Amino acid sequence: MVTNSQAPIKVGMLGMGTVGRGVYKILTGNADLITARAGRPVQIEKIVVRDTTKSRGVTVPDGVLTADAAAVLENPDIDIVVELMGGNEPAKEYILKALKAGKQVVTANKDLIAGYGKELFDAEKEHDTDLMFEASVAGGIPIIRPLKMCLAGNKVTDVMGIINGTTNYILTKMTRFGSDFNDVLKEAQALGYAESDPTADVEGHDAARKIAILASIAFNTRVTSRDVYVEGITRIDATDIKYATELGYIVKLLGIAKERDGEVEVRVHPVFIPGSHPLAAVSDANNAIFVAGDAVGETMFYGPGAGEMPTASAVVGDIMEVARNITGGVNGRISCTCFEEKPIKPIGLVESKYYLRLMVKDRPGVLASIASVLGNHNVSIDTVLQKRSDGDIAEVVLIIHRVEEQNLRDALTIMEGMSITKRVANVIRVEGEDA
Amino acid sequence: MVTNSQAPIKVGMLGMGTVGRGVYKILTGNADLITARAGRPVQIEKIVVRDTTKSRGVTVPDGVLTADAAAVLENPDIDIVVELMGGNEPAKEYILKALKAGKQVVTANKDLIAGYGKELFDAEKEHDTDLMFEASVAGGIPIIRPLKMCLAGNKVTDVMGIINGTTNYILTKMTRFGSDFNDVLKEAQALGYAESDPTADVEGHDAARKIAILASIAFNTRVTSRDVYVEGITRIDATDIKYATELGYIVKLLGIAKERDGEVEVRVHPVFIPGSHPLAAVSDANNAIFVAGDAVGETMFYGPGAGEMPTASAVVGDIMEVARNITGGVNGRISCTCFEEKPIKPIGLVESKYYLRLMVKDRPGVLASIASVLGNHNVSIDTVLQKRSDGDIAEVVLIIHRVEEQNLRDALTIMEGMSITKRVANVIRVEGEDA
């Protein structure tokens, strides 16, 4: 006899793109395993798509695909709504509708969680439901649950992640082959590692959403994508990478979130990190998130940060957890953890170590002038390399000791106005080592 | 008004060695954060120690320390029993007593979980309690919960881990400085990285317990430490490490668990892994666990695998999860997941790639004889290095293609009986690359 606690959990999916197809494959392909581990079967009842006739690479039984969102949102048989449409609307409207109807929700939508977390989690709390989003950050890598649960005893101080596969792929190739950004971008687009409009990836906006989510959880305060200072990788060129290598660093695009003295820093930008740092070895399209806590010390979570099956793996993990909660009658047990309001530190007040590359006139006294301007702004020099000169213009590379960003910016503004300066070729922060 | 759901959760600790002290520090030092995240205060009520007068490096209020285990086990006020005594008895008796009394249990005891899991989890199930053990494997690294929850949709195929810090420290130093095992061991003992009796670490028994626990969870079948094939690192010498480097490998002691066609392999032994493998970069006393699943692909979890505060971090994460379960009235929700009985493959039937180092007489035709013996046993050669000869004895290094272990053993037995063979200096499996 099928008792109630063995009855299938019924899933309604919104959207069936790449990740949706992956979820379908796992739930059907590993059905026995999932039933055993979740304690009861998990069954896809309805899938809402725009075009029900389109071929999707998997065989979906008749009657499952529908163009009518109400077939999921207003269907009393559906226990869990899995939102995989992406973007803001109508995804947000649908999720809110589902929560209000008392349905559990699983989503991979980083835009929504990073941009509208408060609204969504308020609804989750009000209706005592689950809203899970492990797949919204770093694809298949378990990171949300480890942060919320396993590391819960820690005051987390740092979360730093390679959380955009496209830019990591590009930087890896640039480092390995000495190639230029634009050439590698074209190659990445041809191979499907970068989109035809690569802006969200290469300008850092995708990473910004993810670090906003991680910062909110790590520091128990609401951080939205609008709070994140963002620089992309389009200004990194082969010369910078060559110098990084020479100085023992690797160039990575990192999402960085730190809490110091009750203030939160959240930013996405390229960095030099020491070759010995655990993040330095994370290559190609892989992701990794480095977490430092006062008790645990330094940990790292590594894996595929995107893609059909890895992202679907995270979605299915959430579905199974929600299914167990339904069986136990304990949905809504862990909801939003943003119980504090911590100030976000403006980028000008953030302290970093820096790499500077300057093109200057090659004449006596130039280095002294540069050093003097920096010194006047309390900017102190760690390392100087002066290597290339065409007789007229020399390239000077400086590593600058830890300093408040505004000081350096002021110094650079003055330098840019000086007759000896041809241009400030690049300014890149150094992370992952002591002052 | 303090309602029942805001009343403190009361913890009774069994043992207060290094990890116990760490748990005490976290629960008192991060008390506000823990209260907010767990939803209510977590308070240490009693700590059972042999000698209540001994100084413990933290100030424990009067009346908390006691030499009487009944003060925890038979104390109706205690909600969660945290067992940090280690070893088999009386820890097992105490845990069983606590579970039978309906108390929740958190333990860091790998010996017990790996050796007596069935008995303990049967009691957990019978009494509808929680028995959590995140700290029993890889110290502060979240791995049990990610495997059980986040990756639950995956058919896990491989779990490979650097799960013993002492041996990783020794191998790292041997690799970095070309030193001999015994010299580094002595240094590690002086620095506190190895115990005065290092047997459990260097012979692989500690890692065996941990890989048994990971295999049980990954494959949903009971694997005990007695099922694990074990070799330690005492036979690795500087010469093997030199050849590893030359061939692009790193020598590590790994716990390895694989499922292939419904059969489980579980073993601990030194391996050559490719320098590009994520585990290769894990150095010093750090741990890391590599997990491959059919959906997620390859993931890795990295961090400190032992020590006061990292291990305590994992214990406190478990305590907080149990506390939330108490508040929700849902203890015993995820219990033992060994719902299958899969056969363990004997080591003779396990397939590996190998590194062989042979000392042979330096005369014409020797290599042909070796190749012929190997060939007769279906052992096929990938790479040959013949480098050192004192005119009489030559050192031959072979990398052998993937083969069933028994075939290689048979071939080696014959070789050892041949007059041209001085000795088989070492045989080390190669892992982490395709056949």
pLDDT band at A163 (very low <50, low <70, confident <90, very high): very high
Burial-class residue B424 by CB neighbours within 10 Å (0-12, 13-18, 19+): middle
Query: What is the predicted pLDDT for the residue at A395?
Result: 93
Which chain A residues touch B294 with a CB distance below 8 Å? 29-30, 309
Which chain A residues touch B319 with a CB distance below 8 Å? 153
What sign does the CA torsion over B18, B19, B22, B23 have? Answer: negative
Query: Is domain A348-430 in CATH 3.40.50.1100, yes or no?
Result: no
Q: Which of B306, B313, B308 is nearest to A149 (CA)?
A: B313
In this predicted structure, which of A163-172, A385-394, B27-36 has the lowest mean pLDDT?
A: A385-394
CB-based contact (8 Å) between A33 and chain B? Answer: yes
* Spatial separation of the C-alpha atoms in residues A178 and A166, rounded to whole Å: 17
B282: nearest CA in chain A? A278
pLDDT band at A5 (very low <50, low <70, confident <90, very high): low
Q: Residue B296 and residue A319: Cβ atoms within 8 Å?
A: no
pLDDT band at B5 (very low <50, low <70, confident <90, very high): low
| ipTM of the predicted assembly exceeds 0.90 | yes
Using CA atoms, how far residue A76 sits from A72, A193, A239, B15, B224, in Å, is: 8, 40, 60, 52, 45
Q: Residue A302 and residue B302: Cβ atoms within 8 Å?
A: yes
Fold of B144-303: Dihydrodipicolinate Reductase; domain 2 (3.30.360)
Domain boundaries, chain B: 4-139+308-328, 144-303, 348-430
The shortest CB-CB distance from B149 to any of A33, A321, A337 is to A321
Contact between B234 and B170 (Cβ < 8 Å): no
Reduce the secondary structure of A372-384 to three states and give it as a string: HHHHHCCCCEEEE
Question: Same CATH topology for A4-139+308-328 and A144-304?
Answer: no
Asked if pLDDT for residue B42 goes beyond 90, the answer is yes
The shortest CB-CB distance from A142 to any of B151, B155, B313 is to B151
A325: nearest CA in chain B? B333
B297-323: average pLDDT: 96
Burial-class residue A224 by CB neighbours within 10 Å (0-12, 13-18, 19+): buried
Q: Residue A152 and residue B320: Cβ atoms within 8 Å?
A: yes
What φ, ψ does residue A130 adopt, rounded to 5°?
Answer: -100, 140
Mean pLDDT of chain B: 94
pLDDT band at B4 (very low <50, low <70, confident <90, very high): low
DSSP H helical ranges for A2-45: 18-29, 31-38
pLDDT in tens, A38-56: 999 999 999 999 999 999 9
Mark which residues 294-313 of A lie under 8 Å from B by CB: 294-304, 307, 309-310, 312-313
B11-22: average pLDDT: 97
CATH no. of A144-304: 3.30.360.10
Contact between A54 and A66 (Cβ < 8 Å): no
* Nearest-neighbour CA in chain A from B250: distance (Å): 15
CATH no. of A4-139+308-328: 3.40.50.720
Which chain B residues touch A317 with a CB distance below 8 Å? 149-153
A160-184: average pLDDT: 96
Residue of B46, B92, B103, B210 marked catalytic: B210
pLDDT band at A271 (very low <50, low <70, confident <90, very high): very high
Which chain B residues touch A216 with a CB distance below 8 Å? none
Mark which residues 208-237 of A lie under 8 Å from B by CB: 220
CB-based contact (8 Å) between B42 and chain A? Answer: no
Which chain A residues touch B293 with a CB distance below 8 Å? 313
* Nearest-neighbour CA in chain A from B213: distance (Å): 17
DSSP string, A118-130: HHHHHHHHHTT--
* Spatial separation of the C-alpha atoms in residues A31 and A374, rounded to whole Å: 64
